Amino acid sequence: MIYIGIDPGPDYVAWAYIQEAEGKIWLAHGKEKPENHYVSGFDHVGIEVLPEYGFMRSPLIRTGYTIGKMMMVYPTIKEITRIAVRKCLTGRGSHITDADIRCALIEIYGDPGKKKNPGPTYGFKRDTWQALAVAHTLKMLVENNDKIPKIG
């Protein structure tokens, strides 16, 4: 199974995928313009959606446009909220930082390591960590019939 997670931004999308085959897990990631992003041969794709805000600034509105573009490219895309990601990875929906999410992903997939001895998450940066978190949450939702599993 291949799970793709997309973290949209106003100018670029970060993506990560988790591929399970023959009992092994492969990870990959990248960051590119939305119009250049298309991946085929996947089983499931998820995108982080914006929470409901009152007043939205220009970058958030442009991010909304990016989400719309991705939904046109991937008609079966699953919308995933930041709260769902937090609950999936930590068991809590609030007071969770990006650093907490990164630590949870390192516990699951392994330490990034160093250039001479890279780990499975080597090279992941800010946005691609969040894309991996979206892919992991999507994987958990698919495996648990659209329910976030209990942690602990």
Give the tens place of pLDDT for each residue, 47-97: 888 776 666 677 777 777 777 877 777 778 888 988 899 999 988 877 888
The CATH number for 2-143, chosen from 3.90.226.10, 3.10.330.20, 3.30.420.10, 3.40.50.300, is 3.30.420.10
Decide: pTM greater than 0.85: no
How far apart are the two ends of the chain, measured CA to CA in Å? 26
- The number of residues in the chain equals 152
CA distance 37 to 34: 5
37, 81, 86, 118 from 138: Cα distances, Å: 19, 11, 12, 26
Domain ranges across the chain: 2-143
11, 12, 61, 87 from 51: Cα distances, Å: 19, 19, 12, 15
At 137, is the pLDDT very low, low, confident or very high (cuts 50, 70, 90)?
Answer: very high
